[in-house]
Chains A and B, each alone.
Chain A
Amino acid sequence: MGVEETARAWVAEHWKGVDDPAWRRSVYAAGYATPSWPAGPGALGCSRTESEAIRAVFADAGAPGACRELAPFNEDPWLNLIGGPILAFGTDDQRERVLGPLLTGEVDQGCLLYSEPGAGSDLAALQTRADLDGDEYVVNGQKVWTSGGHEASFGLLVARTDWDVPKHAGISFFVFPMHQPGVEVRPIRQITGGSRFSEVFLTNARVPAANLIGGAGNGWKVLQVALAAERRGMGELVLDSAGGPTATERRPPLFSRSDDLVAAARDAGRLDDPVVRDEIMKLHIWRLVNDWTAARAIAELRASGSSSLASLGKLANSRILHGSAALRFRLLGTRALQYDEAADPEGHQVDHDVMMAFINSIGGGSDQIQRNIISERVLGLPKGPEPDKGVPFNDVLKSDATRSLG
């Protein structure tokens, strides 16, 4: 019997129309949670095509919880973020303990414990320390820009376990339990006045040595797998939004992509102002060419599995987001002086966008880091001097390891 028939028989026998923890556990135990992952807990080691067939079997029956490795990044971000590193570097035991609860639905929320006050663009300069104590590591330090820190049951933590080797070589990667004393999550108040991110203070917090993924000192390599998954996810988001918010309308994006800016100019009575028209058209063109470059990137990715174009979109987006928000801000005139969501939601949104545009130009690698990456990896330009290269991390000039923003 082929996998598809086997699955059909299994679903017929087990699916009672109730999606509860017991059902999820049985899907996991039967290997249908992630069938095309390498054989092991929750998986069958079958091909992607077979998994797609199994997915169809479950979908036909209206049975949820199967073939989650096929889902888009956004539907299952944590499975993607931690699945890759564990499959690549983890043990069977880690697979069972860490991925099992994610796949059975006992756990669904994690957080990222990567950046630090002293390690932003230069993440490998992180100074959170993890010191072995029996069969546990004791963790001390500060992380920043963590989303969902309060809700998360686990964090993906990179911490330094060896200070006498060059920076990349002393880093280790942990799946870290968040619910414990010694973990303090404090919201960061942003320039917008809101709080989307937190700083996380780790004071004598503990993580089992069994949760070290890939061995001590291999954390940088493990992290690259997690970051690659994150970038893939971001890429999917870009692809989803390519064509822009108006792509579903009847008018093609070529005509409609900047309806928001046109409406703003019309509302301001400035649509016949040649300077405003020129500015709108510049932004309109930037938006469209960036959409089209993204479309080219998709085509290249499909054809060859890689695309140097994919690294350009985020950088190119900065001038679009900053420029669009700034234009709408100026078009509002003195109305934009008020920043009060209740009194003027639309005006508030424009002010908010002016500030939020920095998320693109700073977050996930600032524009300047992006330019370094593009010039080195795409154009092949040489690296500049690296004063910390090959130097034991203890001897490297460092920023302060902690700085509270609360």
Chain B
Amino acid sequence: MFAPLTADQQEFQALVRDFMTRKSTEAEVRRLMETEEGYDPEVWRRMAEELGLQGLVIGEEHGGQGAGWIELGVVLEEMGRVLLCAPFLSTVVLAGSAILEAGDPDAAAARLPGIARGQTIAALAFPGENGRWDAAGVTARAVRDGDGRRISGAAPATIDGHVADVFVVPARGEDGAISLFLVDRGDGVQTRPLRTLDLTRKVADVTFAGAPAQPLGEPGAGWPVLERVLALAAVGLAAEQAGGARAALEMSVAYLKERVQFGQPIGAFQALKHMAADVLVEVESASSAAAYARWAAAEAREELPAAAALAAAFCTEAFVTAAHQNIQFHGGMGFTWEVPAHLYFKRARADEILLGDAQHHRELLARRLGL
């Protein structure tokens, strides 16, 4: 399982890292986070056209790369490292996975090429107003309208909902069964960008009022698909978190070597050295958890639900720890807007609750172990 990355995968990783480092500089992150869209369409286009990132796990028949979750995990880790501002998690990992996992050839043929080309931004409108991560979180309603369906409901914290062209919406039919639908931006769809804690990842309040919808996958079979999508999203977010945690530690170590107090670099003080060593344990452990989870997503689907919950629980806390301690290491400077430590901290805190918190994932893990 821990076959180290192959030479090809390493080359790909280097390519992605180079791209991310050049395109998502601190200055760029700060520029984009102040915009309402929150991403750079030109960078988004080049991600698709030059690197094929949006279509990485989409089959070649739909214009994708036909690569796997190992590669996608590598990409997300690099994105997390630089706090890339882009609707990638929403488009590729959440909505994209839903379309891939739904087993709906028509929807796949209709939607995946646009995602792979970087022309479609997609979002998952879940959970509903109650904010729950189980089936009770599906609160939208689907009603028949002639041959079609219309969706009503709300998803008040939809990642990148403000820029999405299309939404994957889990909704309950008249019989209460959960199905997935695709809803295009248009009549009956309202999105309102929120002012967010984490400015590097935008969230919108999305409301559907009788919006026309197309079914995605088997009617009534929406929850198992959504559960799989949430597991994959947990793997993806864990990869981002592992990358973010590593970046926060690197920032900490640089500052510990440079900042001088009491006549020595503060990194010579054991109190701080020991904190840093403990953060390293968390960072490397997070990388291990993320690597195992992406392997499970790629090659051992029977382990995916448990591995995803495990990685989500661990990487969430590791990133919060690394980002928190990074501010603590920076002292007063860490409390300023100028030093980017707060960007990682806010991303880490927002990620902590983005797909359910660590306790939620530990309980999921317990159940998936059969307890």
Contact = CB atoms under 8 A, between A and B. Distances in A.
Interface stretch (A75-83, A166-174, A180-188, A291-299): A291-299
A254 B303 contact: yes
Given A280-B366, A285-B310, A374-B277, A380 B253 contact: yes
B303 A303 contact: no
B67 interface: no
A370 B273 CA distance: 11
A227 interface: no
Nearest to A378: B280
A360 interface: no
Given A277-B363, A281-B362, A309-B284, A300 B4 contact: yes
A316 interface: yes
A129 interface: no
Interface of A: 252, 254-255, 262, 271, 274, 277-278, 280-282, 284-286, 288-290, 292-293, 295-296, 299-300, 303, 309, 312, 315-316, 368, 370-372, 374-376, 378-385
7 contacts: A281-B366, A292-B289, A300-B4, A316-B285, A378-B277, A382-B265, A384-B269
Contacts of A296: 2, 4, 284, 287-288, 291
Which secondary structure dominates where chain A touches chain B? helix
A312 B291 CA distance: 17
B263 to A, nearest CB: 9
Nearest to B283: A312
Given A255-B306, A281-B363, A289-B288, 9 more contacts: A255-B370, A271-B371, A277-B366, A278-B362, A280-B371, A293-B284, A296-B284, A379-B276, A382-B268
B212 interface: no
Contact of A292 (B257, B288, B303, B363): B288
A133 B306 CA distance: 68
Interface centre among B3, B267, B284 (most CB of A within 10 A): B284
Nearest to B269: A384
A284 B285 contact: no
Contacts of B274: 368, 371-372, 375
B344 interface: no
Contact of B362 (A262, A277, A300): A277
Contacts of B2: 292, 295-296, 299
A372 B278 CA distance: 11
A7 B296 CA distance: 48
A13 B303 CA distance: 56
Interface in B254-270: 256-257, 264-265, 267-270
Contacts of B313: 281, 285
Contacts of A281: 313, 362-363, 365-366
Contacts of A271: 371
Contacts of B253: 379-381
